[in-house]
């Protein structure tokens, strides 16, 4: 059984360590997540791929209490077995990104709390690989 990224474009692994990939405009310094071929701030196209910080703070959040409908959700979409998960905005050193949270209990989340990047299983593919996605966990 292998562990693979849900999307090599945004999540890579250095051994077991997850690495979040984004973009940076070489002209104005604006960061993007995911990587974009153009800059939304200066409209330039001089973008480079960068590794984003692994630690940040929780800026805001909610709890996804039912299977997301669209775009097609790759996790468990069976309403009888679906497990709610947190979704939040994480303020990284470079920019604020939206991410899945490992914690879904609202009482255990608070604005400004320290969070760190982890990878967690999302589903098993047809070859039996465990497909991982990025998430943030309380430190």
Among residue numbers 85 through 104, which ones bind Zn ion (CB under 5 A)? none
Interaction between residue 114 and Zn ion (CB under 5 A): no
Q: Provide, rounded to whole angstroms, the least separation between the CB of residue 123 and Zn ion.
A: 36
Among residue numbers 12 through 31, which ones bind Zn ion (CB under 5 A)? 25, 27-28, 30
CA distance 133 to 40: 26
**Judged by CB under 5 A, which stretch of 35-43, 71-79, 84-92, 99-107 contacts Zn ion?**
35-43
CA distance 111 to 62: 11
Adjacent-strand bridge partners of 85 = 64
Give whichever of 31 and 136 is closer to Zn ion, judged by the CB atom: 31
How many residues lie near Zn ion (CB under 5 A)? 8
CA distance 139 to 131: 24
Contact in structure between 111 and 75 (CB atoms under 8 Å): no
User: Going residue by residue from 37 to 76, which x/- string records binding to Zn ion, judged by CB under 5 A?
Assistant: --x-xx-x--------------------------------
CA distance 15 to 71: 30
CA distance 41 to 122: 33
Binding stretches for Zn ion (CB under 5 A): 25, 27-28, 30, 39, 41-42, 44
């Amino acid at each position: 059984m292998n562990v693979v990224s849900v999307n090599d474009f945004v999540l890579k692994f250095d051994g077991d360590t997850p690495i979040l990939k984004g973009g940076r405009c070489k002209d104005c310094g604006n960061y993007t997540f995911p990587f974009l071929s153009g800059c939304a701030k200066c409209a330039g196209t001089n973008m480079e791929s960068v590794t984003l910080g692994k630690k940040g703070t929780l800026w805001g959040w909610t709890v996804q209490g039912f299977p997301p409908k669209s775009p097609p959700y790759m996790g468990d979409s069976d309403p009888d077995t679906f497990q709610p998960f947190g979704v939040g905005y994480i303020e990284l050193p470079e920019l604020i990104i939206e991410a899945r949270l490992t914690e879904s209990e609202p009482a255990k989340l608070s604005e400004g709390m320290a969070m760190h990047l982890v990878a967690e299983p999302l589903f098993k593919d047809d070859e039996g690989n465990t497909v991982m996605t990025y998430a943030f966990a309380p430190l």
